[in-house]
Amino acid sequence: METRRVVITGMGAVTPLGNNVPAFWQGLKDGTNGIGPITKIDVSESPIKLAGEVRGFDARDHMDFKSAKRMELFSQYAVAATREAFQNSGLDLSREDPYRMGVIVGCGIGAMQKHEKEIPKFLSGAKTDPLYIPLVITNMASANIAIQFGLKGKNMDISTACATGSHCIGEAYNAIRLDEADLIVAGGTEAAITTSAIHGFSALKALSTSCDPNLASRPFDKDRDGFVLGEGAGILVLEEYEHARKRNAKILAEIVGYGVTNDAYHITSPAPDGSGAGMAMKIAMRQAGILPADVDYINAHGTSTHLNDLYETRAIKFAMGDAAEKIAINSTKSMTGHLLGGAGAIEAIVCICTMSDGFIHLTRNSSTSEEELDLDYTFNKGKIRPVRYAMSNSLGFGGHNATLLFQAV
């Protein structure tokens, strides 16, 4: 069956480094640390003191007050990022068939802050917000995007923990390839800097307990002690190539490969041999028709946990063989923290910006690796280097693996 080419024509972001793509990318290029003291909740009794918070965000800058009141923060982030992505794309939505435009935007956890507000109410017998359920369910990010922009085609919410954003982009890519749509808004969102999330991940021993923002998120460093929770959203406008060309769109990149696997091993740990994530990379390369030596850059999942960083390194070696030593690798999470469901989406944006600028940002806070962690993780400073093929990896709890492969245009 003949498939169609899929390109990126728009991007939008809300992140701890800025609430639009230019600010986000400039922050990464400058090596700015988006991680700082938690201000959104009381952590005086918690060992966790740091997070990657979104700052200066006002939903009313991106939608009317009534719409904002009917969305929780994760949906607001997604709608705001979508508005930027459409503006970036140059699309005139009034001239498009709404049934050929879709949305695949996911969220890993949903509105945990709303749960924290409402559960004490009904436990005490107080009146519950009648919109409680419609506000918290994870599909409301994709639903609200459709409502705000009149997108009546395929609409889905994929929730695969930390692989959510990448899976949403990958499945949108497949849908356009198979002629189910001409254009799909795809990505991920999360707003989980909440008491329950902090306590839950802390109990799991997954979060860094450092009080120093410069020593907290340290992917691939021998002294790493866990990830830092982040928040925000990333949105891409995926478009069929001929559709974009006919309207003279500026094409930012092309998606040429998507690999998806499951480790079938453990609910939180990746497979120790890296075979699951490694096979996702192999599938993406096979789909693109390229070899490991063709890959110039990998945006790693790179969470700063001991198991993830080691097992992802093994996965890269499993997929790339001898070529692994020559590939530039970095972790955006070193500056943003881990956006959970939004991580893969903002990291896809990083891949596209990297190819456009020919600049690979540093892995901040990290300087010294350990045995087996012997690849080029872009410690200490960024690299000026042409990048034709960029790969993004996402690994989620439950063994969910996703790899996206982008080609420069």
Assess whether 134 and 271 both reside in one domain: no
| CATH classification at residue 263 | 3.40.47.10
- 2 is a domain residue: no
- Residue 253 in any domain: the answer is no
Last residue of a domain, one of 224, 246, 268: 246
Residues 167 and 271 in one domain: no
Pick the catalytic residue: 62, 167, 243, 338?
338
Catalytic residue among 107, 162, 168, 353: 162
Whether residue 252 lies inside any domain: the answer is no
Cβ-proximal residues to 165 (8 Å cutoff; 6+ apart), any chain? 106, 187, 188, 234, 339, 341, 342, 343, 344, 345, 346, 347, 348, 394
pLDDT of residue 228: 98
Do 230 and 297 lie in a common domain?
no
Tell me, yes or no, whether 12 lies in a domain.
Answer: yes
Q: Are residues 70 and 202 in the same domain?
A: yes
- 282 found inside a domain: yes
At residue 1, the pLDDT reads 67
265 shares a domain with 226: no
Q: Which of 184, 219, 246 is the last residue of a domain?
A: 246
pLDDT tens across 369-394, in order?
A: 999 999 999 999 999 999 999 999 99
138 within domain boundaries: yes
Question: What pLDDT is stored for residue 81 in this prediction?
Answer: 98
Chain centre to alpha carbon of residue 227:
15
243 is catalytic: no
Q: How many CB atoms lie within 10 A of CB 22?
A: 13
Total domains, the chain: 2
User: What's the confidence (pLDDT) of residue 2?
Assistant: 79
Which pair of tokens denotes residue 244? 């974009």
Q: Is residue 251 part of a domain?
A: no
Quote the pTM value.
Answer: 0.98
Q: Are residues 174 and 263 in the same domain?
A: no
Domain that holds residue 82: 7-246
| 400 is a catalytic site residue | no
Options 301, 351, 353, 400, the catalytic residue: 301
Cα(239)–Cα(7) distance, rounded to whole angstroms?
5
Structure tokens at 276: 């699951």
3-state secondary structure the chain: CCCCCEEEEEEEEEECCECCHHHHHHHHHHCCCCCEECCCCCCCCCCCCEEECCCCCCHHHCCCHHHHHCCCHHHHHHHHHHHHHHHHHCCCHHHCCHHHEEEEEEECCCCHHHHHHHHHHHHHCCCCCCCHHHHHCCCHHHHHHHHHHCCCCCEECCCCHHHHHHHHHHHHHHHHHCCCCCEEEEEEEECCCCHHHHHHHHHCCCECCCCCHHHCCCCCCCCCCCECEECEEEEEEEEEHHHHHHCCCCCCEEEEEEEEEECCCCCCCCCCCCHHHHHHHHHHHHHHCCCHHHCCEEECCCCCCHHHHHHHHHHHHHHHHHHHHHCEEECCHHHHCECHHHHHHHHHHHHHHHHHHCEECCECCCCCCCCCCCCECCECCCEECCCCEEEEEEEECCCEEEEEEEECC
Residues 312 and 336 in one domain: yes
* 301 included as an active-site residue: yes
Q: Mind listing the pLDDT tens digit of every residue in the chain (409 residues)?
A: 678 999 999 999 999 999 999 999 999 999 999 999 999 999 999 999 999 999 999 999 999 999 999 999 999 999 999 999 999 999 999 999 999 999 999 999 999 999 999 999 989 999 999 999 999 999 999 999 999 999 999 999 999 999 999 999 999 999 999 999 999 999 999 999 999 999 999 999 999 999 999 999 999 999 999 999 999 999 999 999 999 999 999 999 999 999 999 999 999 999 999 999 999 999 999 999 999 999 999 999 999 999 999 999 999 999 999 999 999 999 999 999 999 999 999 999 999 999 999 999 999 999 999 999 999 999 999 999 999 999 999 999 999 999 999 999 9
